[in-house]
Chain A
Amino acid sequence: MDDMDRRIINELQDGFPVTERPYAEAAKQLQMDEDELIERIGKLCKDGTLNRFGPMFNAENLGGAVTLAAIRAPENRFDEITDMVNAHPEVSQNYAREDDLNMWFVIATETPGRLSKVIAEIEYETGLEVFDMPKIEEFYVGLRFAV
């Protein structure tokens, strides 16, 4: 990753044009060629620096539901339970954390009703209680990483 890549990452975390030639427009701001920008983004996606290049959604504004859930996975079943949880396409993030509640994941569904079904399915498959902690109030969302 060189300085140009860093500028791409820093500049394009906040937005990308919705116009006919968005790469050309963004490239102009970054003072590089359209072709080069496209190529560099492709390379950063391929080498795993970027998760993806595209939109982030707000599931609730889309009429869906999202929650943060946690389970207490016994150490000897941890990998098996990880597989069971991640097999659900509605699970978008999953982290092992240092706590008695040691697996934390985000579930986002197209409809509010589907959310409770996914939780019930995970409870049934794993035999473990899922602690459902949907947000009550959002104070800040600003997931940005300067490189």
Chain B
Amino acid sequence: MTPDATDKCLLNAIADGLPLTPRPYETVADGLGIGEDEVLDRLERLRDSGIITRFGVVVRHRELGWRANAMAVWDVPDGLVDTVGEKIRSFPFVTLCYQRPRRLPDWPYNLFCMVHGRDRATVRQQILEINDACDLRALPQDVLFSLRQFKQCGAHYAPARPDKTKHREVA
């Protein structure tokens, strides 16, 4: 589906969060000048078509103790990357896994995998497990831990509003 202007207004109205009222969709509907039924219908459609991927609690994982955030990267031969990617997705500690383009000569890696854990030692061990299980030990690779997080917010699509979380540094 192609979202129309009303869909986009709706998404922007809830981008920062649902109203904390017993009938939040009615509150949103009132703000947009449409009916609650229409908001519910539109949200269903947006969810079914994969535009809204998830609805609910978005945590600040660092505050919850998930402080070790590693981006593990490998230079996997292009012909093998699908097989390896499919294997990596089965690890419970892997939160994201993508193939991305190399940027030679500065960046030789094409497989990106995020591992979030409570401490670095555990995360390093988990990345070793991936290496062993997927036979990646011999491949060029690197692990980039995050040092600070500067920004985490939902994407905004229409006129930018001031971002409350901007420049929030988390050790």
A-to-B contact residues, CB < 8 Å = 8-9, 12-16, 18-24, 34, 38, 41-42, 44-45, 48-59, 61-64, 66, 68, 70, 72, 82-83, 86-87, 89-101, 104-105, 108, 110, 131-145, 147
Asked whether B103 lies within 8 Å of A20 as measured between CB atoms, the reply is no
B-to-A contact residues, CB < 8 Å = 2-3, 8, 11, 14-18, 20-26, 36, 40, 43-44, 47, 49-61, 63-66, 69, 71, 81-82, 85-86, 88-89, 94-101, 103, 106-107, 110, 112, 116, 142, 144-158, 160-161, 163, 165-167
Assuming the A-B contacts A34-B22, A95-B149, are A48 and B60 also in contact, with contact meaning beta carbons closer than 8 angstroms in the complex? yes
Of the residues B15, B58, B100, contact of A136 by C-beta under 8 Å: B100
- Residues of B contacting A83 in the complex (Cβ-Cβ under 8 angstroms): 167
Can you show 11 pairs from A to B with CB atoms below 8 A apart?
A: A18-B44, A87-B166, A89-B163, A97-B71, A97-B147, A131-B107, A132-B103, A136-B98, A137-B98, A145-B66, A147-B65
Assuming the A-B contacts A23-B22, A90-B155, are A101 and B97 also in contact, with contact meaning beta carbons closer than 8 angstroms in the complex? no
A113 to B69, CA, bound (A): 31
A137 to B116, CA, bound (A): 21
Asked whether B59 lies within 8 Å of A141 as measured between CB atoms, the reply is no
Asked whether B101 lies within 8 Å of A136 as measured between CB atoms, the reply is yes
Asked whether B82 lies within 8 Å of A137 as measured between CB atoms, the reply is yes
Of the residues A8, A24, A53, A62, contact of B58 by C-beta under 8 Å: A53
Q: How far is the CB of A35 from chain B (nearest CB, A)?
A: 8
Q: How far is the CB of B10 from chain A (nearest CB, A)?
A: 10
Q: How far is the CB of B78 from chain A (nearest CB, A)?
A: 10
Asked whether A19 lies within 8 Å of B40 as measured between CB atoms, the reply is yes
- Residues of A contacting B61 in the complex (Cβ-Cβ under 8 angstroms): 145
The CB with the most chain A CB atoms within 10 A, among B43, B50, B64, is that of B64
Assuming the A-B contacts A54-B58, A90-B155, A135-B100, are A147 and B142 also in contact, with contact meaning beta carbons closer than 8 angstroms in the complex? no
Assuming the A-B contacts A13-B57, A55-B11, A133-B103, are A93 and B166 also in contact, with contact meaning beta carbons closer than 8 angstroms in the complex? no
- Residues of B contacting A131 in the complex (Cβ-Cβ under 8 angstroms): 103, 106-107
